[in-house]
Structure 1
């Protein structure tokens, strides 16, 4: 049920449109090797162990100032899904879709 809900809320969004959320520290970067929807599901399930492993491997982290600036300057479009209070983002190729992300 959570997977379907998050998948339905996943969309491409311009980094410029996420500036307010970034300023509040609410944007989390998800490595392109992970399934964005699965990360949202695990967040929704409060799977601390899984998140600790992803964080330790630098696969999930707050967006750095360097990433934010690069995305701003390139007017990047990212995949995003809201897993309140967080916005999870993933920098993937424009022809990629969340259902094709790797686990």
Structure 2
């Protein structure tokens, strides 16, 4: 029996998630495609829900302040220290998460 779309997405995003420095992510940020994910969320699960186009869940996360576009002030701080972040690409978006 073939795996369902959610399981396939979870496997794909899990294999593509990595720690990467902010300097290496500038292209995504410059195009306005960098999304910051709160540290209390599972980065892979957020990518899966994005891939499934789960609008209701995303609206809730946005309303709760758990997901937002990377703002200029945050990007500058990360740039100055070349912050290492967890990241996964869910085209066209780049999801980044800072772990404390």
Q: TM-score, normalised by structure 1?
A: 0.88
Q: Which residue of 1 aligns with 2:52?
A: 45
- 1:58 shift after superposition: 1.0
Return the match for 1:86 from 62, 71, 93: 93
3-state SS of paired residue (1:78) = strand
Q: List structure 1 runs of 4+ shifted beyond 3 angstroms.
A: none
Q: TM-score, normalised by structure 2?
A: 0.90
Larger radius of gyration: 2
Indicate the RMSD between aligned Cα atoms, in angstroms. 0.7
Aligned residue pairs, count? 93
- C-alpha separation in 2, matches of 1:87 and 1:79: 10
3-state SS of paired residue (1:13) = strand
- 1:21 shift after superposition: 1.0
Cα deviation code 1:36-79 (max 9, x no counterpart): 00000000000000000000011011001111011011110100
Q: Which residue of 1 aligns with 2:79?
A: 72
- 1:6 shift after superposition: 0.3
